[in-house]
Amino acid sequence: MISRIKGTLDLLDRGLYNWIEKKIKKHLTDYHFKEIATPIIEPIELFKRSLGLETDVVSKEMYYVSGSTSSDTESEKICLRPEMTASIMRAFLNAGIQETPWKVFSIGPAFRHERPQKGRYRQFNQISMEIIGSESIMQDALFLAMLDHFFSHVLKLQGYGLLINYLGTRQDRAAYQKILHRFLVQESARLCNLCKHRMNTNIMRVFDCKEHQCQEIYSQAPTLIDALAQESVHEWKLLKHTLEELSVSYSIKPTLVRGLDYYNKTVFEFVATDGLGAQNTFCGGGRYDTLACALGAKDDYPSLGAAIGLERLALFIEAQRPLTDHAQEPILSVVIPLTAEQQPLGLQIVQLLHAQGKCADIVLDKASIKGMFKAANKMHAQWAILIGPDEQRDGMITLKNMTTGHEEKIRQGDLLEHIK
């Protein structure tokens, strides 16, 4: 038997995902975001230039698509997208969109060749939300409030926290990187090999390390926040103050840098405190003011965004199932034609129910009446509509309430009245 590819999922019931998508679409539309879609295949160059060569995603997790013709040149090489922000910025620049801020979102699969585990897959789905072309730090506050409101009020989630950090401007980081380098040189004997490499190539990436010992060292490291220039300090204070005014709770995590190189200023993660295990970040994002230029734009487009990991959010919701109302199934009516003679009439009744916007099905392949009722039960039918030869002859049906067990013979024309 052929098995699915390692690190992928077969969703045998997409109900919860549909529920989340319905809720987020409504929420984002209320906040004046528009849904867009970009291709799943993109030029590899797009992610090399945006995410950065030293990131895990570009250095070891990319899915390359082998070209179908031998005439592929390097610049035409394609990959499966590992995320959507770079694609959305590319689409914005390609289309020459003038109206900013451009507030958009997109839902779809992303691909990373990671080691599969709970909450970490090789094909997963993201809800990517972006505001392109807006410099004001107030936009960051509103965006975080929008996300927090979605998780706390719309999904009614409990047991999560918002972690934020401020990465400052390029100048702030250049000044800080010297301070950090001095610190890491002192600690280098205890660092893992990857961090030793990173401290000389892309130093802030060391904070992304998953090694416990390294993280312990970094908890003692000088922080970027302490090295910010006056203007950045002001903006950072304003952001924190505004979040408080908007009643958004947060914790500051000075080592939060996020896994992709394009971030500056505000970065954040929504993290589950239990229910998700090690993969507990279900939403992450931040500002990416220089991404447009990295992709070749002439002008800067200060921007910000976030991505929700749909699988992780679904796992988190499932861990709190009783608190949410997503499991509500439509009321199902199941028609039971007793013999093959009644099947055509049964189909007509199903059609009538559908025309009235009802959820209806029919039992066709069972020989005994017991088997038919059992099948209706398994389908979670609320109503069973039995038609035998007598009912067919007299224009009647036997209607059974599957919850109470109550049964009555009614006229076919009165069915809709009864199952209202």
Per-position x/- string for 335-364, each x denoting binding to ligand ATP as judged by CB under 6 A, each - no binding: ------------------------------
- Binding partner selected for residue 197 from Mg ion, ligand ATP, none, CB under the kind-specific 5 to 8 Å limit: none
C-alpha–C-alpha distance, residues 116 and 84, integer Å: 21
The distance of closest approach from Cβ of residue 339 to ligand ATP in the complex, given in angstroms and rounded to an integer, is 51
- Per the CB < 8 A criterion, the answer to whether 405 and 418 are in contact is no
Q: Least Å distance between CB 6 and Mg ion? A: 17
Q: Which residues contact 237 (CB under 8 A, 6 or more apart)?
A: none
The pair of structure tokens assigned to 41 is 């295949």
Least CB distance to ligand ATP at residue 251 (A)? 17
Q: How far apart are CA 132 and CA 304, in angstroms?
A: 7
Alpha-carbon gap, residue 323 to 132, rounded angstroms: 35
Distance (Å, whole) CA 415 – CA 406: 15
Residue number with the shortest CB distance to ligand ATP? 309
Phi, then psi, of 128 in degrees rounded to 5: -100, 125
Q: Quick count: other Cβ atoms within 10 Å of Cβ 67? A: 12
Q: Is 199 in the site for ligand ATP (CB under 6 A)?
A: no
When binding is defined by CB under 6 A, the residue of 21, 45, 54, 114 that contacts ligand ATP is: 114
Binding of ligand ATP by 284 (CB under 6 A): yes
| Contact partners, residue 45, CB within 8 Å, separation at least 6 | 75, 77
Q: How far is CA 288 from the centre of its chain?
A: 19
Among 121, 143, 150, 262, binds ligand ATP (CB under 6 A): 121
Look at residue 287 and give the partner it binds from Mg ion, ligand ATP, none, a contact being a CB closer than 5 to 8 Å depending on partner kind: none
Query: Rounded distance, CA 111 to CA 121, Å?
Result: 8
Q: Residue 270: name the closest of 288, 244, 291, 249 by CA.
A: 249
* Residue 283 interacting entry, from ligand ATP, Mg ion, none, C-beta within 5 to 8 Å by type: ligand ATP
Spatial distance between the Cα atoms of 420 and 418, rounded to a whole number of angstroms: 6
Least Å from the CB of residue 162 to ligand ATP: 13
Kindly tell me which of 8 and 320 has the beta carbon lying closer to Mg ion.
8
x-or-dash string of contact with ligand ATP, 234-273, rule CB under 6 A: ------------------------xxx-------------
Stated length of the chain = 420
Q: How far is the CB of 214 from Mg ion (least distance, A)?
A: 16
Out of 106, 126, 165, 303, name the contact with ligand ATP by CB under 6 A: 126
Q: How far apart are CA 78 and CA 93, in angstroms?
A: 19
Interaction between residue 307 and ligand ATP (CB under 6 A): yes
- Using CB under 6 A as the binding rule, whether residue 83 contacts ligand ATP is answered as yes
**Binding to Mg ion in span 247-286, by CB under 5 A:** 259
State which residue, 43 or 259, has the beta carbon closest to Mg ion: 259
C-beta of residue 402 within 8 angstroms of C-beta of residue 376: yes
Residues that bind ligand ATP (CB under 6 A): 83, 112, 114, 119-121, 124, 126, 258-260, 279, 281-284, 307, 309, 311-312
Residues that bind Mg ion (CB under 5 A): 259
